[in-house]
Amino acid sequence: MALHIHEAWILLFVLPALVTAAAINHEDYPADEGDQTSSNDNLIFDDYRGKGCVDDSGFVYKLGERFFPGHSNCPCVCTEDGPVCDQPECPKIHPKCTKVEHNGCCPECKEVKNFCEYHGKNYKILEEFKPSPCEWCRCEPSNEVHCVVADCAVPECVNPVYEPEQCCPVCKNGPNCFAGTTIIPAGIEVKVDDCNICHCHNGDWWKPAQCSKRECQGKQAL
């Protein structure tokens, strides 16, 4: 009988210990949010507020120290309230700028286009040139080419020709006009056949010749 009583006392002491161990098992009772966060975070960052500044890469700067955060070319000064950075109003880049440097806080134009390009050729500012016999052009300071095209007068003949390096056609044989299909010179009367004598209009060389019939030589022969 004494043996059974002793075993009962042992059970009374062991059971509470087992219950307590089961109660604190973390697998059965998940930790609260604060415990989960601290267990998952492997890195702990120091608080540098009021003591320094940290850039994008995690580098720490002392109070009063100048630095360039990230990829910016504008400097910052570390203060107790955090970085104070320059934000200047940068001048506009010239639209004809061909070379820009980004070494400073603001981009800077190092080379401006000082020529004009026209039909694949380059011309200096204020340079005058003739791309064709009838065109006169100039390279303006705006890097644009302005051209004037010659306005040719109406030729005084029906068979004008274009000479090399000349803009307007010329009448190599002087003024003339058509009498039917025959070209006759201006200023004189021309007998174009046995019955018709023709002459050109004064000043209107593109009009057909004026012709008048005369007594035909064939009839006189009869």
What pLDDT is attached to residue 212?
87
Task: Of 212, 169, 208, 205, give the one whose Cα is nearest residue 191.
Answer: 212
The predicted model scores a pTM of: 0.40
What pLDDT is attached to residue 90?
84
What pLDDT is attached to residue 27?
44
Q: Residue written as tokens 């966060």?
A: 37
- Both structure tokens of 176: 């003339």
**What is the arrangement of strands in the sheet containing 210-213, beginning at the earlier edge strand?**
190-191, 196-199, 210-213
What pLDDT is attached to residue 9?
43
Alpha-carbon Rg for the chain, nearest whole angstrom, is 52
Residue type, 209: A
CA dist 207 and 177 (Å) reads: 7
- Domains of the chain, CATH where assigned: 51-110 (no CATH), 115-149 (2.10.70), 160-213 (no CATH)
What pLDDT is attached to residue 46?
54
Are 182 and 209 contacting, i.e. CB atoms less than 8 angstroms apart? no
Residues of the chain with pLDDT under 70: 1-50, 70-72, 203, 217-222
Task: Of 147, 153, 183, 145, give the one whose Cα is nearest residue 169.
Answer: 153
User: Any residues with CB less than 8 A from the CB of 110 and at least 6 apart, and which?
Assistant: 99, 100, 101
Quick one: DSSP state of residue 163? Answer: P
Are 139 and 189 contacting, i.e. CB atoms less than 8 angstroms apart? no
What pLDDT is attached to residue 88?
79
Output the CA–CA distances (angstroms, integers) from residue 113 to 19, 55, 99, 118, 198, in the order listed: 88, 39, 9, 14, 64
4-42 pLDDT tens trace: 444 444 444 444 444 444 444 444 444 444 444 444 444
CA dist 74 and 89 (Å) reads: 12
Distance of CA 80 to the CA centre of its chain: 44
What pLDDT is attached to residue 145?
94
